[in-house]
Amino acid sequence: MKTTSLLEEVAVNLLRTAVTSLPQDVLEALRKAEKEETSDIARQQLRNILANVAAAERLSLPMCQDTGIPIFFVKGRCIPDLDEGIRRGVSRATSEVPLRPNVVHPLTRHNPGDNLGKGMPYVHFELADLEYTEITLMTKGAGSENMTALAMLTPSQGVKGIKAFVLETVLKAGGNPCPPTIVGLGIGGSADEALLLSKKAVLGRLDRENKDAELAKLESELREALNQTGIGPMGLGGRTTVLGVKIEQAHCHTASLPVAVTLQCWAARRASARIMKDGSVLYSREGFE
Amino acid sequence: MRLRTPLSDKDVRALKVGDTATIDGVIVTGRDEVHLRALELAREGRKLPVDLTGAALFHAGPIMRKEGNGWKAIAAGPTTSSRMNSMEPEFIERFGIRAVIGKGGMSQPTIDAMSKFGCAYLAFTGGAAIQGAEGIREVKGVEWLDLGMPEAMWILEVKGFGPLTVAIDAHGNSLYKRVDEEVKANLAKVRRSLGI
């Protein structure tokens, strides 16, 4: 198979898997939340979510009408025509799965109808000395993406400043990003790097602890605290405001403390594939470890 | 509670925050672009292609598939209502809609307009798009498709659409305001647990 056709196939498979089924760790977290909620309204929201996800998987249809914008994280071996293969896959998946044509011109708001445009899909490359090319897809809906926030804190504000900013962002977002959300936190780097880290963070599995003990502690502290706010599922009140908090960090300038928060709605849709040297492909909905 | 469109002032005034409801009848989708265009037409004294009196407005951008001469709803959950905050009070007043179906709630001017003109906000679970599509019996038509599939005005025949939670009633009560107050009351404890 030509690499362009192979990549097109992989992109379609990733998009279909991501929008029609949830990773097991996210599903487990939602089930746990449904058991722990005490108010009828909150429980009803989580029951609707779980019933809807089951129906989507059964029918192989998108669980949410906002199938988001496709964001691809590519790392490993460089393969030719990667961009073109992914573009073809996005266009085909839009009519085949189907996906909602979400991509428009930012000013004229013209919708080309195939989810393609300048800079869309967004493909992020990371070269690495690997035997394979790993592609991880995130389909990001606007409800949660519109709540993204960046703060250029001063070093003296430190961890307290980070905590206060995360709390402020979640409070301000309220029910808009479709809670229970996954809070992705990017600490350090430059402004744009912090945002990228926060986006990568929400790809992390909820059933895995951060390898950095300090960050793991901060994640669980924030999760506990955010779930005491009472915002609850869909902002209608309850115990589950977040399913988890995930942190990625990078070193930064001695005079800076960039912090970015990406909120991911409960429909945390992701899928990964590894394209091996011989052209064979491995898939994982939860993500490779 | 089973609601049937067109809704009357009396139907809507009977709803109380926290009630659960489903809808039968006709609902019409409208989000950012529909609000902009509809209000622009109305301000110029021109008519809308659909009479919205007593209608339920659905904040949604569904996925539709062309089938023969018609359309089939594939996925239709609610979109974030707060994007329409600045336009909704005028929309309610001008077009006489009696219900808004959406997610995330709306701001005080809309709560006031709902109470003044008799309209309620019915919260639908965000992302519950298959559940939404299952309640749609027929896509009766589409207007302004030039705005693109998500932004067009879809006219939908629904049965048992929901379940919906009355989150803002026509008496000035809002479930979101209640939650806000609870969140404010919890804040001291939350800050303490974070050591901030």
Task: Report strand pairing: A257-264 vs B20-29.
Answer: unpaired
Give the nearest partner residue to A160 out of B62, B65, B196, using CB atoms: B196
Residues 22-81, chain A, touching B (beta carbon < 8 A): 41, 44-45, 48-49, 51-52, 55-56, 59, 61-67
Task: Report strand pairing: A281-284 vs A270-276.
Answer: antiparallel
Q: Is the Cβ pair A266, B127 closer than 8 Å?
A: yes
- Answer yes or no: do A106 and A150 share one domain: no
Nearest CA among A140, A141, A143, A103 for reference residue A124: A140
- Answer yes or no: do A153 and A204 share one domain: yes
Q: Mutate which of B19, B124, B125 to disrupt the A interface (most A C-beta within 10 Å)? A: B125
- Answer yes or no: do A242 and A162 share one domain: yes
The set of residues, in sequence order, having a beta carbon less than 8 Å from that of A225 and lying 6+ positions away, is A163, A167, B190, B193, B194
pLDDT tens per residue across span A24-82: 999 999 999 999 999 999 999 999 999 999 999 999 999 999 999 999 999 999 888 89
A104: containing domain: 3-21+63-141+268-284
- Answer yes or no: do A122 and A173 share one domain: no
pLDDT tens per residue across span B85-106: 999 999 999 999 999 999 999 9
pLDDT tens per residue across span B34-52: 999 999 999 999 999 999 9
Residues of B in contact with A56 (CB under 8 A): 129-130
Which pLDDT score is estimated for A213? 98
Residue A146, chain B, CB below 8 Å: the answer is yes
Assess if residue A46 is contained within a domain: no
Q: Is the ipTM of this complex over 0.95?
A: no
Nearest CA to CA, how far is A106 from chain B (Å)? 13
Distance, in Å, from the CA atom of A235 to the CA atom of A250, rounded to the nearest integer, reads 32
Q: Is the dihedral of CA A270, A275, A279, A284 positive or negative?
A: negative
Residues 55-84, chain B, touching A (beta carbon < 8 A): 60-63, 65, 74-77, 79-80, 82
- Answer yes or no: do A89 and A172 share one domain: no
Q: How many domains does chain B have?
A: 1
Percentage of chain A modeled with pLDDT above 70: 100
B181: containing domain: 2-194
Which pLDDT score is estimated for A2? 81
What CATH number corresponds to the domain at position A122? 3.30.1330
Residue A5, chain B, CB below 8 Å: the answer is no
- Answer yes or no: do A147 and A137 share one domain: no
- Answer yes or no: do A158 and A79 share one domain: no
User: In this model, does residue A190 exceed pLDDT 90?
Assistant: yes
Average pLDDT estimate for B68-72: 95
- Answer yes or no: do A149 and A248 share one domain: yes
User: In this model, does residue A1 exceed pLDDT 70?
Assistant: no
Nearest CA to CA, how far is A66 from chain B (Å)? 8
What CATH number corresponds to the domain at position B96? 3.20.130.10
- Answer yes or no: do A195 and A224 share one domain: yes
On average, the pLDDT of chain A sits at: 97
pLDDT tens per residue across span A85-106: 999 999 999 999 999 999 999 9
Q: How many domains does chain A have?
A: 2
Residue A175, chain B, CB below 8 Å: the answer is yes
C-alpha separations of B117 from B8, B29, B110, B111, B127 in Å? 11, 20, 10, 10, 29
Assess if residue A53 is contained within a domain: no
Average pLDDT estimate for B133-149: 97
Q: Is the Cβ pair B129, A65 closer than 8 Å?
A: yes
User: In this model, does residue A3 exceed pLDDT 90?
Assistant: no
| Chain B: residue whose CA lies nearest to A232 | B179
Percentage of chain A modeled with pLDDT above 90: 97
Contact A274, A132 (CB under 8 A): yes
Assess if residue A246 is contained within a domain: yes
Q: Is the Cβ pair B79, A143 closer than 8 Å?
A: yes
* Helix (H) / strand (E) containing A62: none
Residues 80-139, chain B, touching A (beta carbon < 8 A): 80, 82, 103-105, 123, 125-134
| Chain A: residue whose CA lies nearest to B20 | A41
Distance, in Å, from the CA atom of B114 to the CA atom of B108, rounded to the nearest integer, reads 10
Contact B132, B60 (CB under 8 A): yes
- Answer yes or no: do A91 and A129 share one domain: yes
Q: Is the Cβ pair A63, B82 closer than 8 Å?
A: no
Q: Is the Cβ pair B129, A266 closer than 8 Å?
A: no
Distance, in Å, from the CA atom of A216 to the CA atom of A5, rounded to the nearest integer, reads 41
Assess if residue A54 is contained within a domain: no
Residues of A in contact with B133 (CB under 8 A): 61
Distance, in Å, from the CA atom of B69 to the CA atom of A104, rounded to the nearest integer, reads 26
- Answer yes or no: do A135 and A204 share one domain: no
- Answer yes or no: do A273 and A134 share one domain: yes
Which pLDDT score is estimated for A64? 97
* Helix (H) / strand (E) containing A143: helix A142-145
Q: Is B59 a catalytic residue?
A: no
Catalytic, out of B35, B37, B59, B98: B35
Residue B183, chain A, CB below 8 Å: the answer is yes
* Helix (H) / strand (E) containing A212: none
pLDDT tens per residue across span A210-223: 999 999 999 999 99
